[in-house]
């Protein structure tokens, strides 16, 4: 499906539409006033109200069901798209006077402007993400070209075309194409005409985007991140329970999901005792959550059986029950877990935090900190120096707060530029 | 060492009479387990670590309790129970998403047993023919550049009936292996005007893609009498396409004029070189040379027939590598009843474990620009 100036087309119109895309985008730049952020916010707010009024449930409910997301949880995130939140976001990220000329000195003014044209390459792991990326582009005032991820089920096109229905002025600012990643020539056309490529995804996606971009195109990367929990041996049961809930809810699939727990110790014995303590809590907490999907449970069971066969050599210890597991080992390597509630627990004494984590610099995102108050400041400081961008409580690792940065930076600012001009 | 029971098992005439061979099967398993235990140090350690005594295999329950090895294990370890120079076949699996390949070796004895098995299974399914045929192979042209097991199997199949000609879809060129389905299409068109029957062999997905293309081009042929479509090598790598078997048979009938009963599918794996051949209802019945256990992923205990679980494949056939109990990455169901009249249960393969529910921030996104 293609969305072009508010109209939906079948994919075979692709070539014809791409032929006129550059001209149409340039014409918008030439003839239109700058997009008013307030109008974008109003439109998003109306759309959010419609979602709340269950207008799109036929589309949304099956997706929630499939990804095992409770309806209430979904609703609790909707306010993010409502007026007060969006106003707050814009103000936090761009400043109060983002649409005004401000004096730079006696003779000159400065003002924030959109970059111009953004090309979004969205990842497929969250269904509404592609649309969200475009909305951020609009909030900064840009024209947006979106490449849908493979396996997209139409939610993004639906939401964006509804947004245009609410506010027809957005028509020339939104273009969505369903181009496969293999059509690099087409993607290059998009990249070439854009001021920036906004790419979501892992290292492979980012590398590909880098090869696509000419030197005049900026690349804004929302890359693959890893998150973990950091616990002291005297972390409270309550904190561990909170983390266990987080692990059971997110199944380690989000950038902000804890893949495992680093423990502030250099003793394997202490580590294994801690692991046993956490495992017992995890098993209990897990009973209040939906079971691990059968296919993933089977995959992990095989992997764990294999690890057991290798355990004599690898020195790994495995605790498993009810489809969930924890593995302890001698190393401190930051890595992806098996996911779906099979996590790792490793030693990382606090004086080794920087040494061990700094090499991962831009791949680090959230650390859930489980430590008594008198220790947390020191550890927090070390984690920040190592390159983490969010420090939260264990239970809050995947929480979303309006106005918070994205991987340490403000996206709307990334999608903007500051222009100085004489008075 | 004498291989009395294994030899007897592979000479069994009634190839789907599982009940009558249970006792013999257990004995053959003991024989094979003891052989690997005494000839492969690494295998011995695995059994010792779990305190399993292979000399005491006396019942089917003992076979169930024999530690299985996951295919993943063969991808990281080379286990051989004979010196490599004494083994004529060294095969690798065709590789999956993990990027690793299993390395398996087979001895002359293994090959002889394989031949015995194939001879009887083909006789049962009436696949032998004296009439020369044209082989259209949807697979690799054998060269010194690849050791993929599937290729060896495909070449072996071309002796089932005398070959007038062999045409390969994946041929070795100066740029490596290249797929050329157009050539096969032209051969099909030529063959439809002659009397020599054709036999296709190879990956079902390629066959399917070609037939789809021919359908789109409006090509309809009538292949000479005696033509057969045989497919094997699994539908893996193509789960996304969700090719429906019956859609495939419909295409074969419509495009090539070959009846469904002349479509035969095989299933096997490098780690379990038993030939499963589908019956006329397209079910893979377990032959006497093997047993299939479907295990619960939680407890690894066998589940009842009709229930889904992990597929564990068991055979005492091989002495080159300890493949006697191999756990696949696939989920499946063992079914009891089939109208074809064979009493042996049949295996339904559901698909690779956990392949479909993974889309993550960390992994899924990487696939995006790769595919």
Please report the number of interchain residue pairs, chain A to chain B, with beta-carbon separation below 8 angstroms. 125
Interface test with B, best of A305, A320, A362, A364 (most B CBs within 10 A): A305
Residues A20-27: contacts with CB under 8 Å, at least 24 apart: A21/A145, A21/A175, A21/A189, A21/A190, A21/A193, A22/A189, A22/A193, A24/A172, A25/A117, A25/A143, A25/A145, A25/A172, A25/A175, A25/A193, A27/A172
Residue among A201, A297, A305 whose CB faces B366 most closely: A201
pLDDT tens string A336-371: 999 999 999 999 999 999 999 999 988 899 999 999
pTM above 0.80, yes or no: yes
- Alpha carbons A379 and A230: distance in angstroms, whole number: 9
pLDDT tens string A328-338: 999 999 999 99
- Alpha carbons A32 and A30: distance in angstroms, whole number: 6
- Alpha carbons B37 and B67: distance in angstroms, whole number: 12
Query: In sequence order, which residues have a C-beta less than 8 Å from that of residue A362 and are 6 or more positions away?
Result: A223, A387
pLDDT tens string B257-312: 999 889 888 887 778 888 889 898 889 999 999 999 999 999 999 999 999 999 99
- Alpha carbons B136 and B207: distance in angstroms, whole number: 10
Residues 79-108 of A with CB under 8 A from B: none
Q: Which residues of B touch A149 (CB under 8 A)?
A: 368
Write down the ipTM of this complex: 0.81
- Alpha carbons A379 and A370: distance in angstroms, whole number: 10
Whether A311 shows a pLDDT value over 80: the answer reads yes
Question: Which three-class secondary structure state does DSSP give residue A113?
Answer: strand
Residue among B297, B356, B360 whose CB faces A301 most closely: B297
Q: Chain A closest CA to B29's CA: distance in Å? A: 21
Choice among A149-163, A237-251, B145-159 with the minimum mean pLDDT: B145-159
Cα within 13 Å of Cα(A123), Cβ side? 26
Q: Which residues of A touch B43 (CB under 8 A)?
A: none
Whether B236 shows a pLDDT value over 60: the answer reads no
Task: Report the pLDDT value the prediction gives residue B366, as an integer from 0 to 100.
Answer: 31
Whether B367 shows a pLDDT value over 80: the answer reads no
Residues A383-390: contacts with CB under 8 Å, at least 24 apart: A383/A230, A383/A353, A383/A357, A385/A354, A385/A358, A386/A353, A386/A354, A386/A356, A386/A357, A386/A358, A387/A357, A387/A358, A387/A360, A387/A361, A387/A362, A388/A357, A388/A364, A389/A364, A389/A365, A390/A256, A390/A365, A390/A366
Task: Report the pLDDT value the prediction gives residue A310, as an integer from 0 to 100.
Answer: 93
Q: Which residues of A touch B357 (CB under 8 A)?
A: 293, 295-296
């Amino acid at each position: 499906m293609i969305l072009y100036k508010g109209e939906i087309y079948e994919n075979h119109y692709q070539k014809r539409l791409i032929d006129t895309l550059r001209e149409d985008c340039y014409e918008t730049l030439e003839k239109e006033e700058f997009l008013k952020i307030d109008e974008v916010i109003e439109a998003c707010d109306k759309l959010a109200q419609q979602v709340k009024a269950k207008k799109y449930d036929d589309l949304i409910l099956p997706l929630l069901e499939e990804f095992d997301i409770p309806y209430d949880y979904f609703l609790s995130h909707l306010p993010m798209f409502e007026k007060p939140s969006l106003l707050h976001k814009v103000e936090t990220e761009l400043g109060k006077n983002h649409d005004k000329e401000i004096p730079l000195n006696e003779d000159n003014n400065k003002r924030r402007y959109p970059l111009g044209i953004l090309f979004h390459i969205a990842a497929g792991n969250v269904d509404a993400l592609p649309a969200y990326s475009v909305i951020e582009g609009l909030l900064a005032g840009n024209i947006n070209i979106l490449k849908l991820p493979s396996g997209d089920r139409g939610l993004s096109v639906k939401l964006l075309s509804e947004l245009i229905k609410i506010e027809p002025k957005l028509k020339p600012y939104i273009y969505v194409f369903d181009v496969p990643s293999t059509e690099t020539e087409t993607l290059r056309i998009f990249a070439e005409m854009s001021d920036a490529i906004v790419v979501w995804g892992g290292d492979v996606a980012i590398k590909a985007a880098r090869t696509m971009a000419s030197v005049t195109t900026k690349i804004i990367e929302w890359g693959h991140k890893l998150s973990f929990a950091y616990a002291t041996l005297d972390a409270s049961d309550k904190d561990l329970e909170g983390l266990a809930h987080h692990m059971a809810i997110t199944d380690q699939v989000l950038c902000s999901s804890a893949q495992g727990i680093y423990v502030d110790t250099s003793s394997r014995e202490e580590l294994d005792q801690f692991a046993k303590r956490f495992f017992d809590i995890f098993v209990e907490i897990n009973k209040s959550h939906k079971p691990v999907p059968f296919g993933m449970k089977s995959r992990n069971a095989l992997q764990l059986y294999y690890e057991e066969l290798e355990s004599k050599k690898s020195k790994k210890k495995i605790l498993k029950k009810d489809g969930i597991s924890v593995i302890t080992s001698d190393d401190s390597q930051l890595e992806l877990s098996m996911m779906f509630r099979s996590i790792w627990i490793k030693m990382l004494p606090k004086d080794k935090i920087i040494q061990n984590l700094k090499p991962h610099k831009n791949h680090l995102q959230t650390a859930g900190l489980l430590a008594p108050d008198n220790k947390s400041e020191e550890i927090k400081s070390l984690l920040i120096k190592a390159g983490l961008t969010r420090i939260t409580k264990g239970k809050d690792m995947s929480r979303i707060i309006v106005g918070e940065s994205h991987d340490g930076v403000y996206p709307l600012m990334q999608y903007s530029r500051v222009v100085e001009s004489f008075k | 060492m004498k291989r009395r029971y294994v030899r007897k098992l592979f000479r069994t005439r009634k190839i789907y009479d599982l009940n009558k061979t249970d006792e013999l099967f257990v004995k053959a398993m003991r024989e094979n387990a003891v052989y690997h235990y005494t000839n492969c140090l690494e295998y011995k350690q695995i059994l010792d670590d779990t305190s399993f005594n292979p000399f005491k295999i006396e019942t089917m329950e003992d076979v169930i309790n024999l530690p299985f090895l996951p295919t993943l294990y063969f991808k990281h370890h080379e286990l051989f129970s004979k010196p490599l120079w004494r083994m004529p076949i060294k095969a690798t699996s065709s590789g999956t998403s993990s990027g690793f390949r299993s390395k398996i070796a087979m001895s002359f004895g293994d090959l002889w047993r394989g031949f015995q098995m194939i001879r009887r299974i083909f006789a049962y399914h009436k696949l032998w023919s004296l009439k020369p045929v044209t082989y259209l192979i949807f697979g690799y042209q054998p060269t010194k550049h690849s050791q993929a097991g599937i290729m060896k199997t495909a070449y072996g199949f071309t002796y089932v009936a005398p070959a007038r000609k062999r045409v390969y879809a994946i041929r070795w060129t100066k740029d490596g292996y290249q797929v050329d389905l157009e050539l096969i299409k032209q051969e099909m068109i030529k063959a439809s005007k002659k009397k020599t029957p054709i036999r296709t062999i190879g990956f079902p997905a390629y066959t399917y893609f070609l037939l789809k293309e021919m359908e789109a081009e409006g090509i309809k042929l009538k292949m000479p009498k005696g033509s057969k479509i045989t497919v094997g090598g699994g539908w893996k790598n193509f789960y996304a396409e969700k090719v429906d078997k019956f859609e495939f048979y419909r295409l074969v009938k419509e495009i090539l004029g070959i009846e469904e009963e002349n479509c035969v599918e095989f299933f096997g794996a490098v780690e379990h070189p038993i030939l499963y051949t589908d019956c006329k209802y397209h079910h893979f019945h377990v032959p006497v040379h093997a047993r299939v256990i479907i295990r619960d992923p939680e407890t690894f205990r066998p589940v009842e027939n009709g229930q889904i679980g992990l597929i564990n494949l068991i055979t005492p056939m091989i002495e080159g590598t300890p493949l006697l109990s191999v756990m696949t990455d696939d989920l499946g169901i063992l079914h009891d009843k089939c109208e074809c009249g064979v009493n042996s249960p049949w295996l339904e393969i559901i698909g690779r474990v956990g392949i479909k529910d993974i889309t993550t921030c960390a992994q899924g996104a990487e696939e995006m620009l790769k595919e």
